[in-house]
Amino acid sequence: MAGKDVATMKIGPKVWKNGEFVNWDDARVHVMSHVVNYGSSVFEGIRCYKTTQGSAVFRLTEHMQRLQNSAKIYRMETKFDRQAFCDATVELIAGSGLDECYIRPLIMRGLNEEKPSFGVNPFPSPVDAYIAIWQWGKYLGEEALENGIDVCVSSWTRITSNSMPAMAKAGANYMNSQLIKMEAILGGFSEGIALDDRGMVSEGSGENIFLVNNGKLITPPLGASILPGITRDSVLHIARELGIEIVESQIQRAALYLADELFFTGTAAEITPIRSVDRITVGDGKRGEMTRMIQEEFFKIILAERPAPLGASWHTFIHDTGEKKTVGA
| 223 and 126 co-located in one domain | no
List the catalytic residue out of 10, 14, 17, 169. Answer: 169
Domain boundary residue, one of 134, 155, 173:
134
Confidence of residue 145 (pLDDT cuts 50, 70, 90): confident
Contact 168, 74 (CB under 8 A): yes
Name the β-bridge partners of 9.
6
User: Domain for residue 177, yes or no?
Assistant: yes
| 163 and 270 co-located in one domain | yes
Distance CA 126, CA 76 (A): 9
Gyration radius of the chain's alpha carbons: 20
Which stretches of the chain are assigned E, i.e. beta strand? Answer: 4-6, 9-11, 14-17, 20-23, 41-43, 46-51, 54-58, 101-109, 127-134, 149-153, 191-195, 201-204, 208-213, 216-219, 245-248, 261-266, 270-277, 280-281, 315-317
| 283 and 211 co-located in one domain | yes
| pLDDT of 4 | 63
Across the range 40-59, mean pLDDT stands at: 96
User: Domain for residue 174, yes or no?
Assistant: yes
Residues in Cβ contact with 199 at an 8 Å cutoff, skipping those fewer than 6 apart: 252, 253
Which stretches of 14-100 are assigned E, i.e. beta strand? Answer: 14-17, 20-23, 41-43, 46-51, 54-58
Distance CA 67, CA 71 (A): 6
Which structural domain range is residue 200 located in? 144-307
Chain-centre distance of CA 155, in angstroms?
23
Q: Which of 287, 198, 182, 298 is nearest to 238 (CA)?
A: 298
User: Domain for residue 265, yes or no?
Assistant: yes
Q: Is 169 a catalytic residue?
A: yes
| 150 and 114 co-located in one domain | no
Q: What total number of domains does the chain contain?
A: 2
* Average pLDDT of the chain to the nearest whole number: 92
Domain boundary residue, one of 97, 115, 134:
134
User: Domain for residue 320, yes or no?
Assistant: no
| 149 and 238 co-located in one domain | yes
Confidence of residue 141 (pLDDT cuts 50, 70, 90): low
| 164 and 237 co-located in one domain | yes
| 115 and 218 co-located in one domain | no
| 180 and 52 co-located in one domain | no
Contact 81, 112 (CB under 8 A): no
**282-308, pLDDT tens digit by residue?**
999 999 999 999 999 999 999 999 999
| 110 and 151 co-located in one domain | no
Least confidently predicted of 23-27, 144-148, 238-242: 144-148
User: Domain for residue 328, yes or no?
Assistant: no
| pLDDT of 326 | 42
| 271 and 154 co-located in one domain | yes
CB atoms within 10 A of CB 218: 21
| 12 and 89 co-located in one domain | yes
**17-26, pLDDT tens digit by residue?**
999 999 999 9
Contact 242, 225 (CB under 8 A): no
CA torsion 157-160-163-166 (nearest 10°) is: 110
Distance CA 67, CA 170 (A): 9
User: Domain for residue 276, yes or no?
Assistant: yes
Distance CA 70, CA 138 (A): 26
